[in-house]
């Protein structure tokens, strides 16, 4: 599929899926009471809070009180900063990595009439990984309607088939302000680190604005995010727009588009589009994700390289402790060496919290 056509399809689904799915054959009640359960599975505390305030279902008082406390709404003027919560997690990981060693996708490639054979140690290694993930999180109320958060997360995964491992470390601190009744701003600074065969590290600064609102079909959270990343060899800016909707009688729909700065002689993501749909199916919250991304900026033997990647994912709980994700990814590149098809697989095991 042409990338432009795919992008058009994703955006069209995002804009028109909700009213199309709630067709004229079904007349959905206009009450907010049937929207809040969807907002609760949206993954957004703010959208859940918004829907509960609108619907006021029986038994929601404790949730609303907790949210207001964690949002800094209970902090009085002149009070000193106070800790709202601290949480630690640890849990096992089971996954599948298509490139454990930052290798080259194919063992052979051609440039003109010349055939090149890649050393076996440099060919991408695929395999199941087993590991562990841990995190620490603290949240403080620092002023009325203002909070600060601190988080550190790390994971270690090992692929026994190839005797290879990988380590990820993420750390950030954020400041959030509830600037109007249904408007929030969140600014963060942090660091990301990935070590496979090679190591990459990136510092970043970001800011995100979120606005809640209602429409005839449901409740929504519109967001815009800006980010600047800093690596040793280059810096890059990113912009993202997203719309998260709890659609009456349909489910949760998330659409988004992202743009990334072009970096000369560095292969990075230039733009992307996402469509995701979530709803309870046979008693279990199930999600389907469609994603398109384009990467470019580098060259291969003097020829500019562009990769278009298409992804589809299905995520569904197996039981109360296990969530399984399955998918497929196709990368179309103008350089034959980087053409690739991948099976995506992950098992998320519920972490212990204390």
Q: What's the pLDDT tens digit per position in 64-122?
A: 999 999 999 999 999 999 999 999 999 999 999 989 988 888 888 877 778 888 888 88
In this prediction, residue 104 carries a pLDDT of 84
Beta bridge partners of 136: 88, 152
Indicate the range of 2-6, 186-190, 210-214, 301-305 predicted with least confidence: 2-6
Give the H/E segment covering residue 54: helix 45-55
In this prediction, residue 31 carries a pLDDT of 61
**Neighbouring residues of 321: CB distance < 8 A, sequence distance ≥ 6:** 349, 350
Beta bridge partners of 236: 229
Beta bridge partners of 210: 184, 223
**CB atoms inside a 10 Å sphere around CB 305:** 17
d(CA 83, CA 176): 15
Indicate the range of 2-11, 107-116, 281-290 predicted with least confidence: 2-11
d(CA 305, CA 188): 33
20 — pLDDT class (breaks 50, 70, 90): very low
- The tokens for 155 are 């994971």
Average pLDDT over residues 159-169: 95
Q: Between 343 and 7, whose confidence is greater?
A: 343
Please write the tens of the pLDDT for every residue from 260-276: 999 999 999 999 999 99
Supply the pTM of this predicted model. Answer: 0.88
Average pLDDT over residues 201-214: 98
Please write the tens of the pLDDT for every residue from 40-56: 999 999 999 999 999 99
Burial 215-237 (b: 16+ CB within 10 A, else e): eebbbbbebebebebebeeeebe
* Ramachandran sector of residue 167 (left: φ over 0; alpha: ψ -120 to 50; beta: rest): beta
Strand-pair category, 303-317 with 284-300: antiparallel
Report helix, strand or coil for 51. Answer: helix
62 — pLDDT class (breaks 50, 70, 90): very high
In the chain, which ranges are E strands? 82-97, 108-111, 114-117, 127-143, 146-159, 164-180, 183-195, 199-215, 218-230, 235-247, 251-260, 268-281, 284-300, 303-317, 322-333, 340-349, 352-353
- Assess whether pLDDT exceeds 50 at residue 194: yes
Q: Which whole-number Å values give the CA distances from 189 to 4, 115, 148, 208, 261, in the listed order?
A: 34, 46, 12, 12, 19
Average pLDDT over residues 225-236: 97
Domain total of the chain: 1
**CB atoms inside a 10 Å sphere around CB 181:** 8
The closest of 217, 196, 174, 58 to 127, measured between CA atoms, is: 196
279 — pLDDT class (breaks 50, 70, 90): very high
Average pLDDT over residues 296-313: 94
**Average per-residue pLDDT for the chain:** 90
- The tokens for 52 are 């509960």
Q: What is the CATH number of the domain that holds 79?
A: 2.40.160
Determine the length of the chain: 354
Judge whether 332 and 340 are in contact, CB under 8 Å. Answer: no
In this prediction, residue 112 carries a pLDDT of 76
15: Cα separation from own chain's centroid: 20
Q: Residue 19 phi/psi, 5° resolution? A: -65, -30
In this prediction, residue 191 carries a pLDDT of 98
- The structure tokens 């907002």 sit at 39
Judge whether 55 and 33 are in contact, CB under 8 Å. Answer: yes
15 — pLDDT class (breaks 50, 70, 90): very low
- The tokens for 114 are 């010349």
d(CA 171, CA 150): 8
- The tokens for 223 are 């967001």
In this prediction, residue 2 carries a pLDDT of 53
Judge whether 42 and 244 are in contact, CB under 8 Å. Answer: yes
Question: How many alpha carbons lie under 13 Å from residue 10 in its C-beta half-sphere?
Answer: 28
Domain containing residue 191: 3-353
- Assess whether pLDDT exceeds 60 at residue 23: no
């Amino acid at each position: 599929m042409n990338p432009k056509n795919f992008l058009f399809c994703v955006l069209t689904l995002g804009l028109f899926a909700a009213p199309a799915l709630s067709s004229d054959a079904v007349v959905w009640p206009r009450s907010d009471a049937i929207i809040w359960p969807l907002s609760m599975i949206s993954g957004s505390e703010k959208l859940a809070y918004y829907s509960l305030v609108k619907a006021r279902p029986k038994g929601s008082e404790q949730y609303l009180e907790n949210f207001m406390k964690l949002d800094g709404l209970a902090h009085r003027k002149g009070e000193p900063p106070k800790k709202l919560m601290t949480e630690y997690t640890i849990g096992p990981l089971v996954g599948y990595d298509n490139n454990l060693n930052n290798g080259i996708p194919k063992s052979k490639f051609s440039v003109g009439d010349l055939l090149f054979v890649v050393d076996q140690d440099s060919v991408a290694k695929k395999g199941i990984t087993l590991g562990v993930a841990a995190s620490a999180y603290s949240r403080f109320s620092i002023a009325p309607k203002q909070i600060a958060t601190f988080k550190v997360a790390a994971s270690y995964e090992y692929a026994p088939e190839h005797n290879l491992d990988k380590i990820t470390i993420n750390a950030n601190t954020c400041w959030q302000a509830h600037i109007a009744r249904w408007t929030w701003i969140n600014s963060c600074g942090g660091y990301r680190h990935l070590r496979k065969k090679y190591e990459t590290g990136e510092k970043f600064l970001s800011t995100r604005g979120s606005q809640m609102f209602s429409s005839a079909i449901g409740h929504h959270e519109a967001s815009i995010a800006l980010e600047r990343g800093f690596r040793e060899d280059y810096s890059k800016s990113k912009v993202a727009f997203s719309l998260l909707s709890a659609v009456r009688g349909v489910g949760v729909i998330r659409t988004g588009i992202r743009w990334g700065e072009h970096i000369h002689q560095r292969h990075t993501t230039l733009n992307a589009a996402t469509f995701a749909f979530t709803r309870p199916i046979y008693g279990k919250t199930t999600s389907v994700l469609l994603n398109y991304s384009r990467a470019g900026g580098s060259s291969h033997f003097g020829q500019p390289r562009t990769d278009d990647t298409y992804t589809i994912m299905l995520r569904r709980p197996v039981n109360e402790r296990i969530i399984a994700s399955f998918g497929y990814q196709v990368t179309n590149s103008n350089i034959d060496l980087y053409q690739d098809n991948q099976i995506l697989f992950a098992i998320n095991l519920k972490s212990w919290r204390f």
